[in-house]
């Protein structure tokens, strides 16, 4: 739509509160349908308004580049009228959650952080996990995050999420050394005649062989739970005493190690012990802190229940257009109604910035005391939330170094890696893997079957062109990447850049060659030190793209009917081994009898049969 079309449509809208939707419309033929099928509509933006006509008219002259692109892409504007501004606010939140429009602020729950779990065994096991027992997660939510230790209550317990895995590992090891809670598997625990090595080195009290009774063991488990509830002294005090004894005995290296461990323990709850646990507060309180980084933001949420800080979450959101001074408030204005649309509101909401007036009015009607704290425990909680948010928004060192080394405008938080795989032109496929903040985002992996041809450059062109066209047409539900990494050298990179230029998708692209690990850009070739952290990031992306492409290629190749199907003595398993060893039937024809016999399952007779038949 252009400005005139927007003004024309705005003139048709009522001057009432409501919600509007910018939509794209694709013909049935775009999806393989017929002319009689209904056109496909995609919501690309949802907004609320006190006056629908005035608000929609403002899009005729958009202020930001992002909104300008949205308007140009849209084909029509739909709307819904509401009775009140509050209804419009809630309807907008529900529609955003339902349609996940490309140009709205969309919150992304961070599920990749480690948690600590205590299992529900007779002798509970402590473990660090990113995939906790569903019963433990449900129980934590049902209890409002509370995790009080009660040996009589069955069911696992989970604590976290935590933002620094290294610190979590240090603390869990210190807890095991202090309280002897086991960390072994069920198989290792059962049917033992004598304690394992963990007992010998002081990490476990060996309940498996009766070295400690259940009642005493559960008392130690209770101490571990108290620590994760916020009682830092449960672990810090014995560590401090042990450090002092080591120093008195002139065991200075051990004392220094204990000092470092004590620092990790004391800082585990964010350095705000009184904020973590305060006996005099019976309310449920949520604390929201926002940290901005370019066109993205991190919202950290802390949840305090009956004076105990019991839950931490982080969410990544895109930042609405607007002045830098008001963007944090705009993020909270979008986040609060979306997040609490399907959740129970707390008694109080502490915010780092003031959201829009209609959000505050809605919270007031719901009985939630919302404010920006100034001092005291509430201010300490907010500082802790902001610290967590900034930790999420801060640049990972390797990615920041990658930005500087390549001269990029922003930190490449999202990198997509591309590779192609085929066997002399047959079963050609391409992979597109995604990494967020240096870690694999497997929900963002995609693969594509390509035309069979023995041309790596043409295959890479088709693969990247496919990704670019899907992104520009709004058919790809993933975020746009900050950087594309091509598995290959200058030739593959040139093909990829040609595809980007022909499609009109403006995303920087580089390549990483396998043999010498050279980083190839449009302007230069870099030979970075082998221990450079930013090179390791690229290597992980490249290697994963290669693995994903080869895996898909092999699955297709193994399913292809070949001349081997009619060779006596060659079954499906042997056929797969032969094709993986020699790549194709042509490769088999060029092999000698001795080479054929090297394949497991191929004897002298089968090798001779293969040579005769092929």
How would DSSP label each residue in 59-113? GGS-SSHHHHHHHHH--EEEEEE-SSHHHHHHHHHHHHHHH--TTS---EE---S
What would the pLDDT profile of 283-324 be if each residue is shown by its tens digit?
Answer: 788 999 888 766 678 888 888 776 665 566 778 777 666 555
> What pLDDT shows up at residue 59?
93
Rg of the chain over Cα atoms, rounded to whole angstroms, equals 30
**188 or 520: whose pLDDT is higher?**
520
pLDDT value at 357 more than 70: yes
Mean per-residue pLDDT, 587-610: 84
Q: Which of 40-44, 250-254, 302-306, 406-410 has the lowest mean pLDDT?
A: 302-306
Could you tell me which of 328, 333, 343, 283 has the C-alpha nearest to residue 310?
283
Query: Which pLDDT score, from 0 to 100, does residue 377 have?
Result: 67
Smallest Cα–Cα separation from 53: which of 102, 2, 10, 7?
10
Using DSSP bridges, classify how beta strands 18-26 and 40-49 pair: parallel, antiparallel or unpaired: antiparallel
* 116 pLDDT more than 60: yes
Residue 434 has a pLDDT of: 93
pLDDT confidence band for 388 (50 / 70 / 90): low
Residue 500: cis peptide before it, omega within 30 degrees of 0: no
pLDDT interval class at 233 (50, 70, 90): confident
- In which element (H, E) is residue 429 found? strand 426-436
pLDDT in tens, 359-386: 999 999 889 999 888 766 677 778 777 8
Residues 6+ apart with CB under 8 A from 418: 430, 431, 432, 460, 463, 464, 467, 484, 485, 486, 487, 496, 545
Please compute the mean of the pLDDT values over residues 58-75 and round it to a whole number. Answer: 87
What is the pLDDT, as a whole number, of residue 344? 87
Kindly report, residue by residue over 135-180, the tens digit of the pLDDT: 544 444 444 433 333 444 445 687 766 656 777 888 898 899 888 9
Query: What pLDDT sits at residue 567?
Result: 77
pLDDT of residue 516: 82
Q: What is the pLDDT of residue 504?
A: 94
E strand spans, 221-347: 284-293, 296-305, 308-318
**Residue 17: left (phi > 0), alpha (psi -120 to 50), or beta?**
beta
- pLDDT of 79 reads 86
Q: Mean pLDDT, to the nearest integer, of 205-230?
A: 87
Residue 204 has pLDDT above 70, yes or no: yes
| Residue-level pLDDT at 562 | 55
Record the tokens describing residue 155, joined without a space.
Answer: 């069911």
Tens digits of residue pLDDT in 390-425: 655 544 568 888 988 998 888 898 999 999 998 888
Contact 389, 291 (CB under 8 A): yes
Least confident of 7-16, 53-62, 98-107, 459-468: 98-107
* Residue-level pLDDT at 321: 60
pLDDT beyond 60 at 28: no
State residue 108's pLDDT score: 55
pLDDT at 488 over 90: yes
Q: Over the chain, what is the mean pLDDT?
A: 80
User: Is residue 144 a contact partner of residue 98, using CB atoms and an 8 Å limit?
Assistant: no
Where residue 71 falls among pLDDT bands split at 50, 70, 90?
A: very high
Q: What is the pLDDT of residues 492-511, one digit of tens each?
A: 999 999 999 999 999 999 99
What does the alpha-carbon distance between residue 135 and residue 156 come to, in Å, rounded to a whole number? 7
Range from 29-33, 36-40, 239-243 that averages highest in pLDDT: 239-243
Residue 18 has pLDDT above 60, yes or no: yes
Closest among 500, 436, 443, 440 to 467, alpha carbons compared: 500
Highest-scoring range by mean pLDDT, 62-71, 324-333, 423-432: 423-432
pLDDT for position 160 = 66
Using CA atoms, how far apart are residues 407 and 245, in angstroms rounded to an integer?
52
What is the pLDDT, as a whole number, of residue 150?
43
Reported as half-sphere exposure (CB side, CA atoms, 13 A), residue 246 has a value of 15
Q: What's the confidence (pLDDT) of residue 37?
A: 52
pLDDT at 518 over 90: yes
pLDDT for 186: 84
């Amino acid at each position: 739509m252009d400005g005139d079309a927007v003004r024309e449509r705005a003139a048709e809208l009522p001057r009432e509160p409501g919600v509007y939707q910018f939509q794209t419309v694709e013909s049935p033929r775009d999806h393989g349908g017929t002319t009689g099928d209904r056109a496909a509509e995609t919501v690309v933006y949802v907004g609320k308004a006190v006056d629908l006509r005035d608000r929609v008219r403002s899009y005729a002259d958009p202020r930001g580049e992002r909104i300008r692109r949205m308007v140009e892409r849209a084909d029509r504007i739909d709307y819904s009228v509401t009775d009140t501004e509050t209804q419009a606010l809630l309807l907008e939140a529900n529609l955003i959650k339902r349609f996940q429009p490309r140009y709205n602020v969309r919150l992304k729950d961070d599920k990749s952080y480690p948690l600590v779990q205590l299992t529900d065994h007779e002798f509970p096991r402590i473990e660090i996990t990113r995939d906790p027992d569903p019963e433990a997660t449900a129980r934590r939510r049902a209890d409002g995050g509370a995790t009080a230790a009660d040996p009589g209550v069955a069911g696992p317990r989970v604590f976290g999420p935590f933002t620094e895995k290294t610190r979590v590992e240090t603390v869990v090891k210190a807890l095991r050394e202090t309280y002897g809670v086991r960390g072994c598997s069920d198989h290792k625990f059962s049917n033992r005649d004598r304690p394992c090595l963990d007992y010998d080195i002081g990490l476990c009290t060996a309940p498996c062989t009766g070295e400690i009774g259940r009642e005493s063991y559960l008392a130690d488990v209770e101490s571990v739970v108290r620590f994760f509830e916020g009682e830092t002294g449960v672990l810090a005090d014995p560590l401090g005493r042990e450090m002092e004894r080591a120093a008195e005995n002139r065991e200075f290296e051990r004392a220094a190690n204990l000092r470092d461990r004590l620092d990790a323990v004391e800082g585990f709850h964010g350095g705000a012990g009184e904020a973590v646990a305060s006996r005099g507060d019976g309310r449920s309180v949520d604390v929201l802190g926002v940290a901005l980084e370019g066109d993205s933001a991190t919202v950290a949420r802390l949840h305090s229940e009956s004076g105990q800080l019991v839950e931490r979450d982080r969410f990544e959101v895109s930042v609405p257009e607007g002045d830098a001074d008001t963007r944090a408030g705009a993020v909270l204005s979008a986040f609060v109604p979306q997040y609490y649309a399907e959740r129970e509101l707390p008694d109080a909401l502490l915010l780092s910035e003031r959201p829009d007036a209609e959000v505050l009015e809605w919270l007031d009607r719901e009985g939630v005391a919302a404010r920006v704290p100034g001092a005291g425990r509430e201010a300490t909680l907010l500082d802790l939330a902001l610290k967590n948010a900034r930790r999420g928004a801060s640049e990972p060192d390797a990615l920041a170094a990658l930005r500087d080394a390549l001269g990029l405008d922003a930190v490449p938080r999202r990198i997509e890696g591309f590779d192609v795989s085929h066997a002399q032109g047959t079963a050609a496929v391409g992979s597109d893997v995604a990494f967020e903040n240096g870690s694999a985002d497997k929900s963002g992996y995609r693969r594509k079957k390509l035309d069979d041809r023995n041309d790596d450059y043409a295959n890479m062109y088709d693969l990247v062109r496919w990704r670019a066209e899907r992104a520009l047409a709004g058919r790809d539900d993933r975020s746009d990447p900050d950087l594309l990494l091509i598995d290959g050298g200058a030739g593959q990179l040139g093909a990829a850049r040609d595809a980007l230029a022909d499609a009109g998708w403006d995303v920087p692209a580089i390549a990483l060659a396998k043999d010498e690990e050279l980083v190839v850009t449009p302007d230069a070739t870099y030979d970075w030190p082998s221990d450079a952290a930013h090179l390791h990031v690229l290597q992980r992306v490249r290697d994963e793209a290669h693995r994903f492409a080869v895996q898909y290629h092999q699955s297709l190749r193994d399913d292809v009917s070949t001349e081997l199907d009619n060779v006596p003595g060659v079954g499906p398993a042997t056929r797969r081994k032969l094709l993986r060893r020699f790549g194709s039937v042509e490769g088999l024809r060029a092999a000698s009898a001795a080479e054929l016999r090297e394949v497991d399952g191929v004897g002298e007779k089968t090798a001779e049969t293969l040579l005769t038949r092929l």
